[in-house]
Amino acid sequence: MAMKMIKAIVRADAADSVADSLAEAGFASMTKINAFGRGKQKGITVGTIHYDELPRTILLMVVEEKDVDEVMKLIQGRAYTGNFGDGKIFVTPVEKSVTVRTGADGL
């Protein structure tokens, strides 16, 4: 079974909606990390104040390869506002996973 890691960097205010959507679809296992960063827009200026780094949430999850497109559609659907800074999704191969408690291989 081929596995993929999905790393989604989304607006902090969209993270709970994305996580709930994934859980409702049966993808409940994930790690959420609070972070700060900037993308191509290099921050945001509000009046005279420039915010160089904005709050983001990183969602990490490992899924079977056949589920990647569905997970990506769910994330995009919930994180989309149409504005700069909606986020980015990265998909990478996972060569191996082991459960710490049991030593079992795989998901």
What's 32's domain CATH number?
A: 3.30.70.120
Residue 84 lies in a domain: yes
In a domain, 104, yes or no: no
Q: How far is CA 91 from CA 44, 62, 94, in A?
A: 27, 9, 10
Q: Give the pLDDT confidence score for residue 35 in this predicted structure.
A: 95
pTM (two decimals) = 0.86
Closest listed residue to residue 56, CA positions, set 13, 6, 5, 91: 13
Name the residue among 72, 71, 73, 79 with its Cα closest to residue 23: 71
- Is the pLDDT assigned to residue 43 strictly greater than 70? no
Per the structure, the complete domain to which residue 7 belongs is given by: 3-94
Tens-place pLDDT, residues 82-103: 988 899 999 999 999 899 999 9
99 in any annotated domain: no
Residue 37's Cβ-count burial label (10 Å; 0-12, 13-18, 19+) is middle
